[in-house]
Amino acid sequence: MPHPADPMVWRDASYFKTAGPKPMHFLDQAKIFIRSGSGGPGAVAFRREKYVEYGGPDGGDGGKGGDIIFEAVAGLNTLIDFRYTQHFKAPRGSGGMGKNRTGGGGDDLVIHVPVGTQVLDDDREEVLLDLTEAGQRYTLLRGGDGGRGNASYKTSTNRTPRQHGPGWPGQEMYVWLRLKLLADVGLVGLPNAGKSTFINHLANTNAKVGDYPFTTLRPQLGVVRHKAREFVLADIPGLIAGAADGAGIGDRFLGHIERCRVLIHLIDIAGKDPVEAMDIIDGELTAYGEGLDDKPRLIALNKVDQADAEIAASYAAELIEAGADRVFSISGATGEGMDALLDAVISYLPAATVTERPTGAQEVADEKAWSPLG
């Protein structure tokens, strides 16, 4: 079936009858081209008025080109729109006119991005912008200044100048957009550790659950409410040995938990050796760096509803002996042991951690069709 971005699709009314609603696709990286507007040229003009015996140059300056501005907005959690719109060019300034009239400036081009977006250079080595709060605006490329009109070139020895400035060119560059989700708590573990079931139970999300590895293919966010407190929980695809070096799909998503305050490490009680599972995740967080290995981490033995209590206690003892500070025995399916785990999570969060709810005006704005052009 053709994608709805294909203009031919919109001509066929049967598409809407058969295709149904489209799911939101997740995209956390995108490369785009941006260019600020060039300045307008200055004017070459001379004063010609009846009954005025002395004329002279009166060409005005050109207008300034538009800037390229990035703004973080609430209500977005993907860069998918930049897959279909990849070139952003601000308009140039208008040319100057006679009677010393300055040309109009080009409109600034505001590019809306989700909160948590980083703007990197073409080599992805330098972070140019880091937008971590809704409403943040930064001018990345400034528009070119307008050229001088011939009136500004008049001197005592050059009474009728005919030169003018063409206007300064705008700036252009390729940049990468990289989205790092903003969450208080991150969920990590090997494939099939039960992370999707866990977040579905706590946050009433709709993460896909399946009895096979890599059921989760994109990060999932959910709001958890516990004892009059709220925090944002992020689930990323399962990690495997070598993920930090590119194995599997976990390496690309480890960046989404860089900003978390605490990590929950789920270990499947019926999976491979729990100590080995803990060591694999330890190694990948350390290899990835960016402070992940220094974050507080809560170890949770999951799916205890499918195991004997003595086995769960034995595994918990092995994990503590291997270096875990404390082990929580839980079941993401039944909710067993969740309160103790969430109490521990809350202890690592600031007292003021509350999920912001949009105002009525924001709710109306969120319902409107969004475009990265604003």
Give yes or no on whether 23-179 and 185-347 have one common fold.
Answer: no
CATH number 3.40.50.720 is the correct assignment for the domain at 23-179: no
What's CA 194's distance to the chain center, in Å?
26
CA distances from 324 to 93, 113, 345 (A): 62, 39, 15
Cross-strand partners of 112: 71
pLDDT tens-digit map of 11-67: 333 433 334 444 446 678 899 999 999 999 999 999 887 777 777 899 999 999 999
Q: Alpha-carbon distance 252 to 285, whole Å?
A: 13
Q: Is 335 left (phi over 0), alpha (psi -120 to 50) or beta?
A: left
Write the class of the CATH domain 185-347.
Answer: alpha beta
What's CA 265's distance to the chain center, in Å?
24
Beta strands 262-268 and 297-302, pairing class:
parallel
Cross-strand partners of 328: 300
Q: Which two tokens stand for residue 152?
A: 């500004």
pLDDT band of 250, cuts 50, 70, 90: low
Backbone angles phi, psi at 159, to 5 degrees: -80, -25
Q: Alpha-carbon distance 374 to 362, whole Å?
A: 15
Q: Alpha-carbon distance 118 to 176, whole Å?
A: 8
CA distances from 83 to 26, 210, 219, 309 (A): 11, 29, 18, 50
Task: Provide the residue ranges of all domains of the chain, joining segments of one domain with +.
Answer: 23-179, 185-347
Cα of first residue to Cα of last residue in the chain, in angstroms, is 29
pLDDT at 283: 86
pLDDT tens-digit map of 303-360: 888 878 888 888 889 889 888 888 898 888 888 889 999 999 998 888 755 444 444 4
